[in-house]
């Protein structure tokens, strides 16, 4: 699917980042162990260039295939009783794939989300998600390492790279607490900020964007 993102329909120029279609995605999980944990909710919003399409969103609570431990319930706030009657991930995958289409996938530490989704796609006999994907954390680190006279000395602790910390830096307002759809919307706003500034740093096409932020 990558080739379609590199050129316009007339195949004469690279597709500009302001013209591409994006799906910003977030998941909530029972834990971070890919082998034993599973998805409890998925949220996604669509973007056309830097415009967030408020009317195009996807949100689904999911009955997880693994147990929910207390530590992770405290993070995402989703209780076993809330998902007891919700569909299994198997019933959600086709709708999610249709929502994403051929768009560029965007997320914060998005490889984690994609790995969990691909695990379920493989388990159910479906093909892996092959969309081009970019990580807002990687884009942020690239921006920081390329701006100002002290950029070469830029380093950040892992605890400074979470979505909420970076959102605060860019004056994006949000309510504390995790929700897959609201986190996807926060990520979309952060990506929106990046899209407005990246062309000035020479990142103008999807090819350029993948060079600095490929997941």
What percent of the chain is predicted at pLDDT more than 70?
87
pLDDT for position 7? 41
pLDDT > 90 fraction of the chain, expressed in percent and rounded: 73
β-strands 51-61, 133-135: how paired? unpaired
* Crossing angle of the two packed helices 110-123 and 93-100, in degrees rounded to 10: 130
Where in the chain does DSSP place strands (E)? 21-29, 39-48, 51-61, 104-107, 133-135
Confidence of residue 10 (pLDDT cuts 50, 70, 90): very low
Buried b (16+ CB within 10 A) or exposed e, 180-206: bbbbbbbbbbbbbbbbeebeeeebbbb
Tokens 């009657």 belong to: 85
State the pLDDT confidence band at 4, using cuts at 50, 70 and 90.
Answer: very low
- 182 SS3 class: helix
Three-state DSSP state, 57:
strand
For residue 110, give Cα distances in angstroms to 13, 15, 50, 184, 201: 28, 22, 19, 11, 23
The burial of 140, by beta-carbon neighbours within 10 Å (0-12 exposed, 13-18 middle, 19 or more buried), is given as: buried
User: pLDDT tens digits for 149-202?
Assistant: 555 555 555 568 999 999 999 999 888 667 999 999 999 999 999 999 999 999
pLDDT of the residue at 81: 84
Q: Tell me the pLDDT band of 70, cut-offs 50, 70 and 90.
A: confident
Answer whether 41's CB lies under 8 Å from 29's CB. no
Cβ–Cβ under 8 Å, residues 194 and 143: yes
Q: Angle of helix 206-213 relative to helix 136-145, nearest 10 degrees? A: 90
Lowest model confidence (mean pLDDT) among 27-31, 48-52, 75-79, 181-185:
75-79
* In the chain, where the domains are located: 3-213
State pTM to two decimals: 0.89
What Rg, from alpha-carbon coordinates, does the chain have? 17
CATH number of 3-213: 3.30.420.10
């Amino acid at each position: 699917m990558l080739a379609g993102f590199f050129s316009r329909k007339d195949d004469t120029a690279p597709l500009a980042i302001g013209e591409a279609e994006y799906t910003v995605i977030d998941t909530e999980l029972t834990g971070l162990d890919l082998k034993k944990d599973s998805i409890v909710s998925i949220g996604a919003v669509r973007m056309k260039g830097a415009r967030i399409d408020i009317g195009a969103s996807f949100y689904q609570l999911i009955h997880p295939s693994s147990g929910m431990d207390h530590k992770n319930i405290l993070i995402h706030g989703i209780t076993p009783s809330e998902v007891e009657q919700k569909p299994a991930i198997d019933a959600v995958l086709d709708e999610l794939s249709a929502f994403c289409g051929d768009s560029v996938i965007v997320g914060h530490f998005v490889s984690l989300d994609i790995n969990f989704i691909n695990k379920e796609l493989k388990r159910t006999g479906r093909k892996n998600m092959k969309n081009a994907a970019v990580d807002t954390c990687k884009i942020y680190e690239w921006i920081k390492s390329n701006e100002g006279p002290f950029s070469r000395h830029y380093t950040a602790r892992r605890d400074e790279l979470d979505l909420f910390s970076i959102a605060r830096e860019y004056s994006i307002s949000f309510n504390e607490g995790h929700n897959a759809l609201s986190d996807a919307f926060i990520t979309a706003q952060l990506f929106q900020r990046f899209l407005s500034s990246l062309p000035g740093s020479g990142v103008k096409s999807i090819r350029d964007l993948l060079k600095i932020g490929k997941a």
